[in-house]
Amino acid sequence: MKMSRIIQEMITTLPRPRLATALALVAATILTPLSSSPALASAGGMERKPPLSRRLLAQGEHQYMMRCSRCHGENGDGNGPLADILDPRPRDFTSGNFKLRTTSAGALPTDEDLFRTITRGIPGTSMPSWAALPPELRWMLVYYIKTFDDDFADPEYDPRQSIVTMPPRVPSSPASIARGRKIFEKNKCPDCHGRELRGDGRNNLRDEWGYPARVANLTRGWNFKGGSDPENIIYRFTTGLDGTAMRGYEERIVGEDRWHLANYLASVARGGFDQEMIFKAERTAKKIPLDAGAEIWRSMAPTKIFIQGQTIVEPFWIN
């Protein structure tokens, strides 16, 4: 489809409040070449993104209203019908504050950053993984979410200009981990995360909107927002988690010290996180024992089942 036809269809079909932003996003896509993403661990299905089009935006709106609006709100302001009963509250997309980024503190996330967050979810919150969605649907959501904040369409705030450059990878080793522990202590990280990294330091923190902000227990691998491997951890403390009490240390922790700290944090994290929550059955000709302590059960892969309340807030009366 020719770009002129895409623009014409946008003018005739998109709601006025989103039209200017959508057109500017198209212009940004045309005028700005794609930059290479930083070397991160796989986000699971990170295919090359499709070009922005009216169809993607329209279908992105449909997917958003169906899957995201109950928490993030129809206007993307974080005030969906479930927001008041969620802890932490859903993110306000209109504010420009995004937690998981490869860009400097205060900068917008790249499209790839948003795609990774949608794909992985945010463990420890109500934001689930949408890895089961086809990649194209996830890209539709990326494009539509960007229409909530006009800064995404302003070349002055192009996040690709703010991607943080990391030094060459430093392999994990006992010496690197020991150095990372010293860096952790030097920067007073235990004040919040605790001496043993169990999140038992300061307990009176609040986010930018005045809501309680709980410090992550870093000994639990599933509490690492964005991934518990060094390639992802390094971006969390370097860029910070905008809108939270976790500031960025881009200016304070530099060079190889970033990798030493990332290696240390990865070394204390225990366990991964599986949000699939799907029972995996295996066929067997043997008699299935009723004893929970039987040997056969110890040989089976465990499945995490997380308990959460049903949605009983208008208009989502689910029972």
- Give me the residue spans of the domains in the chain: 3-161, 174-268
- Report how far apart, in Å, the C-alpha atoms of 95 and of each of 63, 131, 303 are: 21, 25, 37
* Token pair listed for 61: 């709106």
pLDDT of residue 278 exceeding 60: no
Q: Residue 72: its pLDDT value, please?
A: 96
For β-strands 316-317 and 312-313, DSSP reports them as antiparallel
DSSP for 237-285?
HHH--TTSS----TTTS-TTHHHHHHHHHHHH-B--------------S
The residue count of the chain comes to: 319
Q: What is the pLDDT of residues 9-30, one digit of tens each?
A: 554 555 555 555 655 555 555 4
pLDDT of 301: 73
The residue to which tokens 């369409």 are assigned? 153
Answer whether 3-161 and 174-268 agree in fold: yes
Q: Give the architecture-level CATH label for domain 3-161.
A: Orthogonal Bundle (1.10)
Peptide bond into 315 cis (omega under 30): yes
Take residue 205 and report the two structure tokens written for it.
């923190």
Count other C-beta atoms under 10 Å from residue 65's C-beta.
12
C-alpha to C-alpha distance for 120 and 245, rounded to whole angstroms: 22
The pLDDT value given to residue 281: 75
115-132: pLDDT as tens digits: 999 998 988 888 988 988
**Mean pLDDT for the stretch of residues 195-219:** 89
Name the CATH code of domain 174-268 (choices 3.50.50.60, 1.10.760.10, 1.10.1040.10, 2.40.10.10): 1.10.760.10
Query: One-letter amino acid identity for 304?
Result: K
Q: For 125-153, what is each residue's pLDDT tens digit?
A: 889 889 889 999 999 999 999 999 999 99
Of the listed ranges 1-5, 81-85, 125-129, the one predicted with least confidence: 1-5
pLDDT category, 195, cuts 50, 70, 90?
very high
- What phi-psi label fits residue 244: left (phi over 0), alpha (psi between -120 and 50 degrees) or beta? beta
Cβ count within 10 A of residue 40: 19
Cβ neighbours for 108, distance < 8 A, ≥ 6 positions apart: 96, 98, 101, 149, 151, 152, 157, 159, 162
Burial classification of residue 302, based on how many CB atoms lie within 10 Å of its CB (0-12 exposed, 13-18 middle, 19 or more buried): exposed
In one-letter notation, the amino acid at residue 171 is P
Phi and psi, residue 197, nearest 5°:
65, 30
The CA angle 85-87-93, to the nearest 5 degrees, is 95
Are 89 and 232 within 8 A, CB to CB?
A: no
